[in-house]
Structure 1
Amino acid sequence: MDFSIFTYDMMMILFAVAVFAGFIDTLAGGGGLITIPALILTGMPPLLALGTNKFQAFIGSGTASLMMIKKKKVTFSEMKYYMLIAFIGSAIGTVAVQFIDVELLNFVVPLVLLLIGIYFIFMPKASEIDVKPKMSETTYKYTAVPFIGFYDGMFGPGTGSFLSLSAIALRGKELIKATAMAKTMNFATNLGSVVIFLVYGQVLFTIGILMMIGQAVGAYFASHFLVKINPLHLRILVIIMCFLMLVKYSFQMGWVG
């Protein structure tokens, strides 16, 4: 592709987009639905945009993960096997996406976002008390986690929201705990995907490194908000992000407007 299109102004815009995406993704997920369209609008081929997005995103999720562990919202000991399984699922998904039409996934994401938004609206309780798990830890670890990891490797946007929702709906975790768990698993899925995209040469390093710095800045500040935020406010933010992403997809796909 023609790298001359990346002017100083465009690079500054991409940096700002990464800061905002890192902040939002740490709190409510969906950062990829901000960064991927921004990268594609520069004229990047879809796979190069996905690879560059993963490269810049893993530092944001990594920063958020370290902050969650540092603030003892989760521990590495309790999350290490979740992270390993998420890593493997994502790596397999990223290999698979090299051989399919990524446009097909555009019809799956809006439906899932709609279901997540509806679930959070009607979720039985938003208290900080854990509810009874509907799935054992082992079953959850070896079914839901690799499945979401596979999705993240294939496409990715909304993975943070999907991981948070699964921890709430299937493991009975309260919202802050579920979000903290999601950050560590999301880091693992991003890392697994990055490794494969690097092997296939689908990463634009100059833009990726610039946005990586932006992601780290956004995730760092958002991590401080996450440990203090009222669970009800976080729930509202997740709902807003889900429906904003859904509206964005609808316009992007030409379903409205």
Structure 2
Amino acid sequence: MFEVTFEVLLLLIAAGFVAGFIDAVAGGGGLITVPVLLIAGANPVTALATNKIQGLFGSATAAISYARGGHVDLRSQWKTAVIAFFASIGGALLVSLLPVELIRYALPILLVGIAIFFATKKGLDDVDRARRLSPAIFAATVVPLCAAYDGLLGPGAGSFYMLAFVGLAGYGILKATAHTKLLNFASNAGALAAFAVVATPWWFTGLAMGIAQIAGARVGAGLAQKQGAKVIKPLLVLTTITLALKLIWDLI
């Protein structure tokens, strides 16, 4: 039934748990799962598609955990999530039309900039600040841009969401993380809908990894809600820098 051997499946399940934990706190779980899927024998497109399956479970679990903790109101944010869903589909379908390789070269620079922002910006905590964009403009511009990128490539999408929520929407770190997980879920769902048509995901393996993602995301979201910015900020900086270094390594 599974697309891999039992031993490889155990490795992928373990990777799913760790990725779920990291993703729920700071994003960047794909740093773990995509390479492991490639090692398991998936081609790059299948690895990305399967990653969306298992990531869907983790982001959904994290979003629900944050909602239960009162950090995001799902009822008031569903329209924004719908925008992210369809924008992600558009991004995935544009993969053959846009200069993806050029984007890959620019990504490490952008990610390092985001890491520097969160590492050095004073006053970044769990307290909201003045917003620079109204919710309507934010939903109409920033959200579809981030979601389309998530569908197009994916790595670093959570960092872009976080930067936007903190820098433009004025959210505190914990609230920004909660809203990022909701939109990650929506854009994962959109990208998966597109990949289901144009790719061949490992459905059963992805579902098994998704169950592990649920467990990891519950632990990660619980820790983030207890510790807030104290744990989210350093892990966000670490995962963003690590992702930038991996992208540079892939380009060499």
TM-score (norm 2): 0.93
Structure 1: stretches of 5+ with no match in the other structure: none
**Partner residue, 1:22:** 20
**Partner residue, 2:119:** 121
For residue 100 of structure 1, report the CA deviation from its aligned partner: 6.1
Question: What SS class does the counterpart of residue 176 from structure 1 fall into?
Answer: helix
C-alpha distance in 2, partners of 1:99/1:134? 32
For residue 62 of structure 1, what is the amino acid of its counterpart? Answer: A
1:156 corresponds to 2:150? no
Query: After superposition, where does 1:34-183 map in structure 2 within 5 Å?
Result: 34-97=32-95, 104-183=102-181
Cα deviation per residue 1:21-49 (whole Å; 9 max; x = unaligned)?
A: 11001100111122112222333222111
Cα deviation per residue 1:75-128 (whole Å; 9 max; x = unaligned)?
A: 112211110111111010111125568555432331221111011012231233
TM-score (norm 1): 0.91
For residue 23 of structure 1, what is the amino acid of its counterpart? Answer: F
For residue 152 of structure 2, what is the amino acid of its counterpart? Answer: M
C-alpha distance in 1, partners of 2:100/2:5? 28
**Partner residue, 1:194:** 192
Question: What SS class does the counterpart of residue 143 from structure 1 fall into?
Answer: helix
Aligned residues: 252
Contact conserved, 1:148 with 1:159, CA < 8 A, in 2? yes
**What is the identity percentage for the equivalent residue pairs of Structure 1 and Structure 2?**
33
C-alpha distance in 1, partners of 2:98/2:41? 20
Contact conserved, 1:148 with 1:163, CA < 8 A, in 2? yes
Change (3 A) 1:75 1:230: closer
**Partner residue, 1:253:** 251
Contact conserved, 1:168 with 1:178, CA < 8 A, in 2? yes
Change (3 A) 1:100 1:15: farther
Cα deviation per residue 1:158-214 (whole Å; 9 max; x = unaligned)?
A: 212211111000011100000001011110000111111112243111221121111
1:221 corresponds to 2:227? no
C-alpha distance in 1, partners of 2:2/2:84? 37
Structure 2: stretches of 5+ with no match in the other structure: none
RMSD of Structure 2 on Structure 1 (CA): 2.0
C-alpha distance in 2, partners of 1:61/1:125? 27
Contact conserved, 2:3 with 2:202, CA < 8 A, in 1? no
